[in-house]
Chains A and B, each alone.
Chain A
Amino acid sequence: MSLRRVLALGFKEFLQVWRDPRSLAVALLMPLMQMVLLGYGVSLDIRRVPLCVQDQENSTESRALVEDFVASGWFAITRTLPDNAAVRTAMDREQCIGALVIPVDFSRVLAATGQAPVQSIFDATDTNTTNIAIGYAEGVISLATADFAARWEAAHGTRPTRVGVVDFEPRVWFNEGLDSKNFIIPGVVAVILALVGAQLTSLTISREWERGTMEQLISTPVQPIELMLGKLVPYFAIGLFDAAFCLAAAIFWFRVPFLGSIVTLALTTSLFTFVVLGIGYLISVRIRSQIGASQVALVLTMLPTTLLSGYTFPIDQMPAAIRALTFIVYPRYYVSILRAVFLKGSGVAELAFPMLALTLYAVFIIWVAARAFRKSLD
């Protein structure tokens, strides 16, 4: 293998990208746009859940409970309704996704027994949002309960025998909003790199075929492996730039706590970038039209990456067969690496498995690329 030829190819490719505004746009603007769209769009955070209230009692105690919901910041009271039929109508009109029903004897029962039921009704058409909203509601109520228990103790000298407006469940749902962002943003970075990286290199070979420059190129002594490495050099630089941009956005803009080391991050990111560009290159070798290659790259990377990388849909909860399938979805390794590096501060030793998997992928790509490209017009 000749380093001279690799560098000659790399420099040529760099000049071509540099002089082509469209390539530059894909290389530099696409990650920015996707970071904004996915970073803000894909979030499990739910704030100001529209909530209706049917307060049948309208006492000091009941109004205080409603006030607790508003004060939490998670709920916004959109309607105060007279009966269940009105709740149904409000949900149909999407004026709220949940309703809090406080019974007519709420404060009386509470004062007498130290425990009073309230009802919450949720629209479960969007199960994800609803689950989270229920969690928030439970949180608000458990706080209210703790507060009530303290007041009861002050008044009666003993704790209430059966504590709780509802059964107390010590969940850390209040951290959920924070957690979901920290959990998702590193995944978003992985997804963006997988999509952009494959797009970058998917056109590199088909462009030579379409412009007629390939015939001259393969009449030279250049070897397939040199062609691949040379072609990847400039895109590797661009890919790392994109990665640095997205990771910086995650840390400084989205404020995801970063506990790991920059070295580990750089090492794993380089490895993943190589794999991603290599996949795009293989697509490019196989498909001779630029449009076709771009489409295939999009389909091959978009679906597996968004669905099976575990960046929003937890891999643990997938059926066994699908879970097995995720092992070939290379972004999953980088998603788990990024989460571990960001949130747990994991080093190379802890990341041995996903790094090994990505390394195997890299070796596999080099092996295939050296064989897939035939210097022939046949």
Chain B
Amino acid sequence: MSAAPPSVLTEGLTKIFGRFTAVDHIDLSIATGEVMGFIGPNGAGKSTTIRMLCGLLRPSAGRAVVAGFDVARKPEAVRAHIGYMSQKFSLYGDLTVRENLRFFGGLYSVRQSEMAERMRFAITMAGLEGRENALVNTLAGGWKQRLALGCAILHRPPVLFLDEPTSGVEPEARRRFWDLIHDLAAGGVTILVSTHYMDEAEYCNRVALIDRGRLAAIGTPSELRGHALGGALFELACSPLGAALAALHRAPGVIEANVFGDRLHVLLADASAAASLHTLLAAANVRAEAPRPIAPSLEDAFVRLVTRTRRPEAAS
């Protein structure tokens, strides 16, 4: 699409701890100004990947280029061009808001002439006006997270790595945090953000699903929703559910049928087969209403994708 080189590029990026492969040949390409979501269960390798991209862990194989610098060969140049928020809150609790900002501004060599303006910006952005001299330990979670983001962007980094920045933060503060992320992206900052909240994936331009160290799928939320399932999803109100499930599992054209609450979710290879479901179920003595097409949630898509990618392993 664009001739501009990607802000973040990984090729076969791999990290092995002893006999455990935490990250297994991940290929990623994130364009400038893109918000890329990193989704996956705990221990899937999201943090390890981000740490390699920050130059905190050495890749065991493959390579990664961030803001034009190879993370293994020029880690210091990478560090000067990124902002990073680690998974665990890691500002200094015994320092005030202003002292933390001044400290990181110093480490990032923010120009003295710019420092006051950048600090004001970070404080406003984080909504910390009036709390500049409060010890960070005394702040609530949402404020801490926004301050951490403020510290990470003092030096205007072109690339931002946020490792589960909203975990443990209340919903209102989470929404506010995502507003900040979009503001930054609108300003041209490339952002890789990991989360285990599925709803947050919807806020991303693209989403990468990581499972067991592998890239299970990548695409826009709607792409993933549409293609990931490999079929059309219908909701079916019927009874009894057991008999209906048994009948559907035998039926041709049905990829999957699962119980969702008091209804069934049925995945069909072809949407036109929905009309024939009624006859099929009637033959099995099941009373059913007309199947209703539903848009799959991202969660549906991820469950489906993860089961699909894991299946070959399970078979072997």
Contacts and interface: CB of A to CB of B under 8 A. Distances in A.
B48 to A, nearest CB: 9
Interface in B208-248: none
A344 B121 CA distance: 61
Nearest to A19: B94
Contacts of B95: 12, 15-16
B182 interface: no
Contact of B91 (A8, A20, A216): A216
A5 B93 CA distance: 20
Given A12-B103, A376-B57, A377-B56, A5 B109 contact: yes
B80 interface: yes
A87 B61 CA distance: 84
Contacts of A19: 94
B197 interface: no
Given A5-B109, A215-B56, A219-B82, A11 B89 contact: no
A307 B5 CA distance: 64
A12 B92 contact: yes
- Report whether over half of chain A's contact residues are helix, strand or loop; otherwise say mixed: helix
Contacts of B94: 15-16, 19-20
A129 to B, nearest CB: 50
Given A5-B109, A15-B99, A213 B79 contact: no
A11 B103 contact: yes
Interface string A172-211: 0000000000000000000000000000000000000001
Contact of A5 (B76, B85, B90, B107): B107
B84 A376 contact: no
Contacts of B91: 213, 216
Given A15-B99, A16-B94, A216-B84, A221 B54 contact: no
Given A2-B109, A376-B56, A212 B90 contact: yes
Contacts of A378: 57-58
Interface string A12-39: 1001100110000000000000000000
Given A221-B79, A221-B109, A215 B58 contact: no
A2 B85 CA distance: 23
Interface in B69-105: 75-76, 79-80, 82, 84-86, 88-95, 99, 102-105
B84 A219 contact: yes
B38 interface: no
A121 interface: no
A19 to B, nearest CB: 5
A88 interface: no
- Using C-beta atoms within 8 Å of the partner chain, give the interface range for chain B: 20 to 34
A375 interface: yes
Contacts of B57: 376-378
A217 B107 CA distance: 9
A219 to B, nearest CB: 4
A184 B240 CA distance: 95
Contact of A213 (B56, B82, B85, B92): B92
B51 interface: yes
Contacts of A8: 102-103, 105-107
B92 A220 contact: no
A7 interface: yes
A376 B89 CA distance: 18
B302 interface: no
A143 interface: no
A215 B51 CA distance: 9
A85 B89 CA distance: 77
A215 B90 contact: yes
B177 interface: no
Nearest to B100: A12
Contacts of A93: none
A222 interface: yes
A375 B51 CA distance: 12
B104 A220 contact: yes
A214 B92 CA distance: 10
B167 to A, nearest CB: 14
B108 interface: yes
Contacts of A377: 51, 56-57
B158 to A, nearest CB: 14
A100 interface: no
A4 interface: yes
A11 to B, nearest CB: 7
A221 B84 contact: no
Contacts of A240: none
Given A8-B102, A12-B99, A16-B94, A220 B88 contact: no
A24 to B, nearest CB: 13
Interface in B90-135: 90-95, 99, 102-109
19 contacts: A4-B106, A8-B105, A12-B92, A15-B95, A16-B92, A216-B84, A216-B85, A216-B86, A216-B148, A217-B107, A219-B54, A219-B55, A219-B79, A221-B80, A221-B107, A375-B55, A375-B56, A377-B57, A378-B57
9 closest A-B pairs by CB: A8-B106, A216-B90, A219-B84, A220-B107, A221-B80, A215-B86, A212-B88, A12-B103, A221-B79
Given A15-B99, A216-B85, A377-B51, 17 more contacts: A5-B106, A5-B109, A9-B107, A11-B103, A12-B95, A12-B103, A20-B94, A212-B86, A212-B90, A213-B90, A213-B91, A217-B107, A219-B86, A220-B107, A221-B80, A376-B57, A377-B57
